[in-house]
Chains A and B, each alone.
Chain A
């Protein structure tokens, strides 16, 4: 790796860097090993604790939870993309009567926690299932964010795109949908994908409002088998499942972007930031 922050290292600097690297590396590895050993002393790696994963019923429960995560993430993603398009259309409307209220509502959606929105939908619409409360809250919240991303993508396009569309007689809406959105979507793909990762992570919030999902299944397994004894391995497996899911989404998106020839580099900073909310 080269960087403007330091010279291409000479022989002495290289030796020094290598020594520091080894020393700090050893410290890190040592700390990890110490943690693992401490866990071992408490018996966390004992085979007896991990035997539960020989039981297909345990896997069935965890995979059932994972399936719910995937389902809710998929449905919410599709809805969020559609809502995002609608939101950005309304937000860019040429009528002030539409534009200003939409701006206020979007600001409201983006400024409050998704968790609060889930609780709100769950309680304000009696009879809605926890699953749909989670999915619709995720769709609305992420739709608002994707809408803003799409809008800034459209704003960033050269003016000539829209003018050309109008000049050949397309209606304004047609121009938006057929000329501007496809380009904006493509340019904003990294941000949108980062938002989908966020959405997938946020399915976990369903646990707090009582929806059935991976974490709930894990907790039930813990209660059933003995939390003190078995929750630690179950927890590690749940973390691994979420990591695998999200890393897969990111990787697939990166491949997709590469094939489509999207310039990822220009927006990459934003991507790393937007994975938070």
Chain B
């Protein structure tokens, strides 16, 4: 079986996919928090900036973001290592989705909580950091995990741009084993499912727990 013969190769690629996922999450999550904070802030220009950024990135295909980082930036004289470019593209694209997940979580906190905080004299900053966010985080985690699942699937695009991750490994193995295309690709799919299905179940379980507590 081609899958078992090439397990080391699969593992190498699997680790690359995982590191793309983790690195992109590491950078996109803080950026997402910043964008979310900008979108709920009382400062108009911050709100507008964040909204425009979100709308543009959400309506542009990720492939074009990749082309920006891998082709357009070098034309402009900014040459980056491939891995760096891939993480950059995934970060730029994913951050607005993290932001939207956080924002909907913040909106999900009962109005009375913020009102109570306001009425005891807390400022905007205090209300958000001491009262709203600690509660929002609980209901925000499941949607954040869903964004990570989508991100996992999106890392496959890096395989089309010189990165050797799962999708790229599938292509390489097909070149070597043209007669076992289906087996090779099912193997790749299984490794993706190894990430996405546990994450999905984690999200479901957390969602159920949060639902009971409310």
**A residues lining the B interface (CB < 8 Å):** 1, 3-7, 9, 17, 20-22, 24-25, 28, 39, 42, 44, 107-108, 111-116, 119-120, 123-124, 197, 201-205, 207-208, 215, 227-228, 231-232, 235, 238-239, 242-243, 246-247, 250, 269, 272-273, 275-277
Contacts and interface: CB of A to CB of B under 8 A. Distances in A.
Contact of B147 (A42, A116, A246, A276): A276
A108 B170 contact: no
Contacts of B100: 272-273
A238 B77 CA distance: 21
Interface in B175-194: 181-182, 185, 188-189, 192-193
Interface string B143-172: 100110110011011011000000100110
Nearest to B58: A275
A211 to B, nearest CB: 12
Interface residues of B, number: 67
A123 B181 CA distance: 7
B197 interface: yes
A277 B182 CA distance: 24
Contact of B97 (A9, A21, A250, A276): A276
Interface string B36-59: 000010111111110000011011
Contacts of B193: 108, 111-112
B1 interface: no
A120 B171 CA distance: 10
A28 B47 CA distance: 12
B132 interface: yes
Closest 3 CB pairs of A and B: A25-B45, A204-B61, A208-B160
B62 interface: yes
B67 A215 contact: yes
A117 B152 CA distance: 15
Given A21-B44, A123-B181, A114 B153 contact: yes
A204 B60 CA distance: 10
B59 A242 contact: yes
Nearest to A272: B100
B77 A116 contact: no
15 contacts: A1-B47, A5-B118, A6-B42, A6-B118, A6-B124, A22-B45, A44-B76, A112-B153, A113-B153, A115-B167, A123-B174, A205-B61, A208-B160, A242-B60, A275-B58
B68 interface: yes
Contact of B185 (A119, A235, A242): A119
A207 B71 CA distance: 14
Nearest to A268: B104
Interface core residue of A4, A205, A273 (most chain B CB under 10 Å): A4
A260 to B, nearest CB: 23
Nearest to A26: B45
Contact of B43 (A4, A24, A111, A246): A24
A4 B104 contact: no
A98 B103 CA distance: 39
B120 interface: no
Interface core residue of A1, A204, A231 (most chain B CB under 10 Å): A204
A250 B56 CA distance: 13
A197 B63 CA distance: 15
Interface stretch (B6-14, B81-89, B107-115): B107-115
B25 interface: no
B185 A116 contact: yes
Given A205-B61, A227-B71, A269-B107, 8 more contacts: A1-B42, A4-B118, A5-B124, A42-B77, A215-B63, A232-B75, A238-B64, A272-B100
Given A201-B61, A243-B56, A273-B146, A21 B43 contact: yes
Interface core residue of B42, B75, B94, B124 (most chain A CB under 10 Å): B42
Contact of A111 (B48, B128, B188, B196): B196
Given A197-B59, A273-B146, A112 B189 contact: yes
B76 to A, nearest CB: 6
B127 interface: yes
B189 A116 contact: yes
Contacts of B75: 227-228, 231-232
B63 A247 contact: no
Contacts of B107: 269
B20 to A, nearest CB: 12
